[in-house]
Amino acid sequence: MAHVIFIFLCLTWGSSFILMKKAGHVFGPMTIGSGRVVGGLVLLWGVWVLVMRRRQGWPFRYRDVAGLTFVVLFGYVAPFVLQPMLISRHDNSAVFGMMVALVPLMTALVSIPVLGVRPRAIQMVGIAIGLGCMSILMKDGLNRSMPIGDLALAALVPLGYTTANTYIKRRFSHAPPIVLAATAMSGAALVMVPMALSMETVEQGDTSMPMAIGALAILGLVCTGLATWMFYHLIQTRGPLFAGMVTYIVPMGALAWGWLDDERITGLQMAALGGVLVAVALVQANHGKPDDRDEGLVDCAAPD
């Protein structure tokens, strides 16, 4: 079953970027982000109320509001708005989907000051390779006339996931994953939905409307709600190292969908992605460490 879930996550999150692109033909980035969190929280709260409430009590207190706000802003609001904004602006899902591969590299860096975890020598080599490949991706973006500011914003997406999830490990490792994810999505909805309603409009009668609505529904219910639940389930049953290997496949899915949608895929992109995957393998190498289940539930971030 674990391998079935793994394949499901790879296919689901690998397609999330092209879905954001299709939804972006009609909806603004704030609306897309709002649709994702609303669809996700509806599904997760439904599962918790119907199935898990008796086994998993409410884990949060008033003193947790500030910490949860941090997670909401950096782990949900920022990346869920930046990704569709950049994809729509440049009509390109593959380039920004590849940025996901930087999550484990940035996690290793952020864990140094936040968790006091110092990477081993082999992991430092992986981080150096990954950062070098990131500069290649940036160069490829510049060759496509993408502003350096947009590329910097693209890099902030994995950094936001990384910072939020590392903080979760430090502060909220006691919280049941489904409750934590649903609570964070609810907080994100409180921020994003009013802004989407006040700032963005939808063009009525657009011929792309049915496809955009379908893409947004899949993003919310499947890619954000169901996939997040399955991801945390995989971490609980097989550990974060096994679950984190999803990161290897998601960028490839983003590239494949981009190619099918007639996006330009370059050899420089492929080389940089290959280097990033090598770097991820080095960073996630489990050299004589105890069972990775003991490292908590959020060593790796959800990669979409």
DSSP 140: H
Q: Is the pLDDT of residue 249 over 90?
A: no
- At 145-171, the pLDDT tens digits run 788 888 888 888 888 888 887 788 778
pLDDT at res. 240: 57
Distance (Å, rounded) from C-alpha 36 to C-alpha 223? 8
How confident is the model over 249-260, as a mean pLDDT?
84
Question: Does the structure show a pLDDT above 70 at 121?
Answer: yes
Amino acid identity of 140? D
Residue listed under structure tokens 């490292």: 295
Residues 68 and 183: their CA atoms lie apart, in Å, by: 8
If pLDDT is split at 50, 70 and 90, which confidence band does 292 have?
very low
pTM of the predicted model, to two decimals?
0.80
Q: Any residues with CB less than 8 A from the CB of 113 and at least 6 apart, and which? A: none
Highest-confidence segment of 103-112, 155-164, 235-244: 155-164
pLDDT at 38 (0 to 100): 95
Q: What is the pLDDT of residue 5?
A: 87
% of the chain residues with pLDDT over 70: 81
Q: Whole-angstrom Cα distance, residue 158 to residue 301?
A: 9
Reading the block at residue 83, the tokens are: 């990704």
Q: What pLDDT score was predicted for residue 301?
A: 46
pLDDT of residue 197: 93
Q: What is the mean pLDDT of the chain?
A: 81
Candidates 213, 186, 194, 191; CA nearest to 202 is: 213
Which pLDDT band holds residue 298 (cuts at 50, 70, 90)? very low
Higher pLDDT, 275 or 287: 275
182-211 burial string, b = 16+ CB within 10 Å, else e? bbbbbbbbebbbebbeeeeeeeeeeeeeee
Q: So what's the pLDDT on residue 189?
A: 96
Closest residue by Cα to residue 66 from 157, 166, 172:
172
Confidence class of residue 299 from pLDDT cuts 50, 70 and 90? very low
Under the banding of pLDDT at 50, 70 and 90, the label for residue 77 is: very high
Report the alpha-carbon distance of residue 284 to residue 270 in Å, rounded. 21
